[in-house]
Structure 1
Amino acid sequence: MDLTVAWAFIIAFAVFAYVVMDGFDLGIGILFPTVTVGHGRNRAMNSIAPVWDGNETWLVLGGGGLLAAFPLAYAVVLPATYPLIIAMLLGLVFRGVAFEFRWRDERHRGFWDLAFFAGSLVAAMSQGMVLGALIQGIEVSDRAYAGSWWDWLTPYTLLTGLGTVAGYALLGSTWMIWKLSGEVQEHAYRLATRAAVATLVLMALVSVYNLAMLDAYRARWLEMPNILFASQVPLLTLIIAVALFQSLRKRRELAPFLLSLALFLLGMAGLGITIWPNVVPPGITIWDAAAPERSQAFMLVGVAIAMPLILAYTAWAYWVFRGKVGTDGYH
């Protein structure tokens, strides 16, 4: 068994878990200004109150796993994206503070609502731009970052940032469809349709941009025999998109959220096809960046213990708060 490949999938799983779990509550923050002031916003926020901070466990696991299992990748990616990482962390901190203070400082609730929105938007945009900066390639010399402070700022990273914001808005709106009822739910149906259109358009634009960016990316998608397997991703995306719009039109409640998660899963599959086996495109593979095998094996024991515990308490939290948020604002 190749431990390096196993660790690559562990980190990919942690990143995906973070994106889908923290994505919907960031999405609610992004959509917050559109929700009715007062009772509507309170219900939207209460729908994520039991789980939002636990969702960020996966961000810690993904970042810590990257440092432990692929230290070279960590040492290159962070200096290349420091402004974005700092902005993301500040956004998450400010958002967390706003989440608590809006209940305790009613005189300034409008300010904290704005802070909740701004923190969510900055965090989502930063995450998408970090992804874009990674995919477009990072300049490396002598196993260290050799680019400038502003290499991350390009039209492509802005596009991936907007795509992430739209995708999180889709997750947030479909979460509100599932967890809320009445006027807020009807509003969420309208938001979900618009967010789905924006997400799919931006996914298509990013995909086309990827094909034009590097010859290696184009070869992984369009050359034989790769195209026989890679073509299934856009085909499945189209099928899921049609099913998503149908579920919204038929006023389904859980299906839109699950189908939105499927879109994110396909997006991550497409990302994997694009950059594999690189962890830092265009030239650092997962094996180049990997920690010694003994270290990987030692850490794997810890993950084998910790990850089931994280999955268990996460599943328990979602199960306990599985119902809708009522008109009184409580589960």
Structure 2
Amino acid sequence: MDITIVWAAIIAFGLALYVVLDGFDLGIGVLFPLFPRDDERALMMSTVAPVWDGNETWMILGGASLYAVFPMVYSVVLSALYLPLLLMAICLIFRGVAFEIRARSRRTRHLWDLAFICGSAGATFFQGVVIGSWLSGIDVEDGRFAGHAFDWLSAFSLFTGCALVVTYALLGCAWLIMKTHGDLQRRLYRVMAPLGVLELALVAVVSVWTLSLSPMFDARWFHSNLLPWLAPVPVLVALIAYGMRKAILHRHDTLPFVLMLAFVLLGFAGLLVSVWPCAILPGVTIWDAAAPRSSQLFTLRGALIVLPVIVAYTTLGYRVFRGKTRHADLHYH
């Protein structure tokens, strides 16, 4: 068994769960400006109150794993993308503080709402910038970052940042539809339809733009033996979009969120297919960037203990707090 591939799979699994779980969490903050009433905002925050901080565990797991198993990726990416990662961290801090304090300070609640909105949207945007910058490629020489401090700043990375904001907002909208009822839920259905159309347009642009970044992407999708497996992807996207439209028209509670999970995971899988087996684009593979096998084995023993625990308490948290969130259950009012 190739332990480097095992570790790549573990990190990919953790990142996928982070995108899904913290995605709808951040998306709620992005949607805040569309719902100005204080009672509605309190209800929206209460839908994620029991689980929101645990969602970010997966980001910590990913960062710690990169540091231990793929130290070159950790050092190069941190050096190349230091500014957007720092800004993302600052936004997450503001968002976390606002989440806890807004309910305890009525006089300044509007300022904490603003901090929650800016923190959520800012963290999402800079996550998208990091993804776009990574896809665009990072200059590496002798295992070190060889570019400039603002190489990450490009039209493509800014566009992917905006696209991720819309993606998380749509994911958050689907989550809130599943967790709320009444007038708020009806208004969320109305918001979801135009957001879905915008999301499809942005995904199409990002997909075409990504293919133009490197011949590697074009060759992977159109000139490789994976073509029979990749050809159904646009069909699956169309089926998900059609299912989403029907789910909104028929006012399904849970189906929009399930379909959004499928959509996001399909996009994540497409990203992995595009870059495999590179850890740093354009040409540093996971084996080039990996720590010695002995270090990987030692760290894997700890991961085999920690990972099931994280999965267990995450699953338990969502199971215990499943179902609709009602005003009587408000945590943040």
User: d(CA) in 2 for partners of 1:280 and 1:234?
Assistant: 27
- Residues 25-45 of structure 1 deviation map (CA, whole Å, 9 limit, x = unaligned): 100000011114211111001
User: Does 2:159 correspond to 1:159?
Assistant: yes
Q: CA deviation at 1:253?
A: 0.6
Partner of 2:187: 187
Q: Which amino acid aligns with 1:13?
A: F
User: d(CA) in 2 for partners of 1:5 and 1:199?
Assistant: 32
- Closer, same or farther: CA 220–317 of 1 in aligned 2, 3 Å: same
Partner of 1:211: 211
Matched residues, percent identical? 47
Runs of 4+ in 1 over 2 A off after TM superposition: 232-235, 327-331
Q: Is the 8 A contact 2:42 2:330 kept in 1?
A: no
Partner of 1:202: 202
Q: Is the 8 A contact 2:18 2:58 kept in 1?
A: yes
User: d(CA) in 2 for partners of 1:57 and 1:233?
Assistant: 30
Q: Is the 8 A contact 2:24 2:175 kept in 1?
A: yes
Partner of 1:100: 100
* Unmatched 5+ stretches in structure 1: none
Q: Is the 8 A contact 2:11 2:62 kept in 1?
A: yes
Q: Is the 8 A contact 2:80 2:149 kept in 1?
A: yes
Partner of 1:8: 8
Partner of 1:79: 79
* Unmatched 5+ stretches in structure 2: none
User: d(CA) in 2 for partners of 1:201 and 1:328?
Assistant: 39
Partner of 1:241: 241
1:1-331 alignment, distance < 5 Å:
1-330=1-330
Q: Is the 8 A contact 2:247 2:255 kept in 1?
A: yes
User: d(CA) in 1 for partners of 2:36 and 2:69?
Assistant: 45
User: d(CA) in 2 for partners of 1:191 and 1:30?
Assistant: 12
User: What SS does the aligned partner of 1:48 have?
Assistant: coil
Q: Is the 8 A contact 1:95 1:119 kept in 2?
A: yes
- Residues 221-268 of structure 1 deviation map (CA, whole Å, 9 limit, x = unaligned): 011423222222222122112111211111111110011011111111
Q: Which amino acid aligns with 1:138?
A: I
Q: Which amino acid aligns with 2:62?
A: G
Q: Is the 8 A contact 1:27 1:173 kept in 2?
A: yes
User: d(CA) in 1 for partners of 2:224 and 2:286?
Assistant: 24
Q: Is the 8 A contact 1:128 1:157 kept in 2?
A: yes
User: d(CA) in 1 for partners of 2:56 and 2:224?
Assistant: 40
Q: Which amino acid aligns with 2:168?
A: Y
Give the number of aligned pairs. Answer: 331
User: d(CA) in 2 for partners of 1:125 and 1:17?
Assistant: 18
User: d(CA) in 2 for partners of 1:174 and 1:185?
Assistant: 10
Superposition CA RMSD, Å: 1.1
User: d(CA) in 1 for partners of 2:245 and 2:299?
Assistant: 43
Q: Which amino acid aligns with 2:231?
A: S
User: d(CA) in 1 for partners of 2:32 and 2:324?
Assistant: 19
- Residues 195-243 of structure 1 deviation map (CA, whole Å, 9 limit, x = unaligned): 2222221111111011111111100001142322222222212211211
User: d(CA) in 2 for partners of 1:272 and 1:281?
Assistant: 12
Q: CA deviation at 1:329?
A: 4.5
User: d(CA) in 2 for partners of 1:128 and 1:36?
Assistant: 26
Q: Is the 8 A contact 1:27 1:169 kept in 2?
A: yes
Q: Which amino acid aligns with 1:202?
A: L
User: d(CA) in 2 for partners of 1:147 and 1:185?
Assistant: 48
User: What SS does the aligned partner of 1:106 have?
Assistant: coil
User: What SS does the aligned partner of 1:62 have?
Assistant: helix
Q: Which amino acid aligns with 1:33?
A: P
Q: Which amino acid aligns with 1:275?
A: V
User: d(CA) in 2 for partners of 1:299 and 1:158?
Assistant: 35
User: d(CA) in 2 for partners of 1:194 and 1:88?
Assistant: 27
Task: Report the TM-score, using the length of structure 2 for normalisation.
Answer: 0.97
User: d(CA) in 1 for partners of 2:224 and 2:323?
Assistant: 48
User: d(CA) in 2 for partners of 1:329 and 1:306?
Assistant: 31
- Residues 176-196 of structure 1 deviation map (CA, whole Å, 9 limit, x = unaligned): 100011111111112222222
Q: CA deviation at 1:330?
A: 3.4
